[in-house]
Copies of this chain bind each other. A is one copy, B any other.
Amino acid sequence: MKSDLDQLMQDYELDAILITWPAQHNPAMFYLTGGVHLTNADLVKKRGSEPVLFHYPMERDEAARTGMATRNLGEYKMGELLRQTNGNPLQADILRYQKMLTDVGLTEGRLGLYGKIDAGEAYSVFSGLQEALPGLTILGQMGDSILLQAMATKSEDEIERMRRIGRTTIEVVSLVADFLTGHATRGEILIKENGSPLTIGDVKNKINLWLAERGAENPEGTIFAIGRDAGVPHSSGNPQDYLRLGQTIIFDIFPCEAGGGYYYDFTRTWCLGYATDEVQKIYADVLAVYKQVMSDLKADSLCREYQKLACEIFEDLGHPTIQGNPQTENGYVHSLGHGLGLHIHEYPRISMAAGIEDRLVPGSVVTIEPGLYYPERGLGVRLEDTVWVRPDGQMEILAEYPLDLVLPMRSI
């Protein structure tokens, strides 16, 4: 949680953190500012002190809205800095950071660096700043970011935001189910009122519309994939494809609050009208793993154990898994789930990859998403819910929805 930041900075021997640039679609900045509309800003937090937000003159009102201590970047006179550096914007920017950090008393110690910006700019500006301030050690904490560690447990108000986006997700999912099952069919194909086939593109337009109506965004898109595409876990679905009865549809929806805020993540697999015995069997196997894992989840346990459990059950049921063959593209081919919050993928990771010792703890929010994929057989099945480990150690799915495979068509 945010309140862990000072302790985490202490653990990692960081004297301060610097977060660069926009407050939206930039989880590090969103986390500390709450997502106001700042297009460019810098935030400095020293250990044990409140953060200071550096903003441009035109965005002073938005900056003030955070309630933080603010400083106006106009005072650093970029025009003058450019003249001092013979019009070299890189050197001028390095000089600006040097002055800013000097002003807040940060010319030595260890500084952690965050924020989503251009890789080339980050590399060149902060290499230059490192040279300009040799007493300071600039650190990019790949893979063990203290912000990601703070984010790994959620406060009650973060859960409230996630619950709200979860409810929106479920509303949209049930609108989609209703929309699909209300269509007429011609042979195996769903058709629109004008007689032309309904396409995945049509469905995705509706999804976007219904999310937007509810103030949600889906910056990462939506997976709505049918048949062979459902058998390729991250295929997002071909907009031209028709909706056909009896084929597996993987519907994986992961919207966030407008402005790039908190996410929800949810998957169902549907067959319209009917499901073949082959699909029923695969679905039953995924459901068995889903249920076993859900009932086994326990606070303070090692996440990798659940991935191990999922692989064992799937192998007992005769499916290849990435545990048996890391290169397999058939069977169970991904990890069981992941933390969720301001990123689609956060801590803890439910994976057996080397070095991953993440634990499920009170405050964790994770997805549980077992699946089976057989692209050559034209099918895939995945079930996913988002689970919160409550302070009392109980598990809670943040937005409940039926797990049914077959959606009966109302016209048949």
Residues on A close to B: CB < 8 A? 20-21, 24-25, 28, 37, 39, 56-62, 74, 77-79, 82-83, 87-90, 93, 112-127, 138-145, 205, 208-209, 211-213, 215, 217, 219-221, 229, 232-236, 258-260, 326-327, 329, 333-334, 344, 353-355
Contact = CB atoms under 8 A, between A and B. Distances in A.
30 contacts: A24-B219, A25-B219, A39-B220, A57-B329, A57-B333, A61-B232, A79-B326, A82-B353, A82-B355, A87-B354, A87-B355, A90-B142, A93-B142, A112-B120, A113-B120, A113-B123, A115-B118, A116-B116, A117-B119, A119-B126, A120-B139, A120-B142, A120-B145, A122-B123, A123-B123, A123-B140, A124-B141, A209-B209, A211-B212, A219-B219
Nearest to A112: B120
A365 to B, nearest CB: 20
A235 B140 contact: no
A96 to B, nearest CB: 12
Q: How many copies does the complex hold?
A: 2
Complex A-B, nearest 6 residue pairs according to Cβ-Cβ distance, in ascending order: A87-B355, A120-B140, A212-B212, A89-B143, A124-B140, A122-B122
Contacts of A77: 326
Contacts of A212: 208-209, 211-213
B123 A138 contact: yes
A119 B113 contact: yes
B143 A122 contact: no
Contact of A208 (B28, B89, B215, B333): B215
Nearest to A119: B122
A115 to B, nearest CB: 5
Contacts of A123: 113, 122-123, 126-127, 138, 140
Contacts of A209: 209, 212-213
A286 to B, nearest CB: 17
Nearest to A127: B127
A352 to B, nearest CB: 9
B118 A61 contact: no
Max chain B CB contacts within 10 Å: which of A61, A145, A232?
Answer: A61
A221 B259 contact: yes
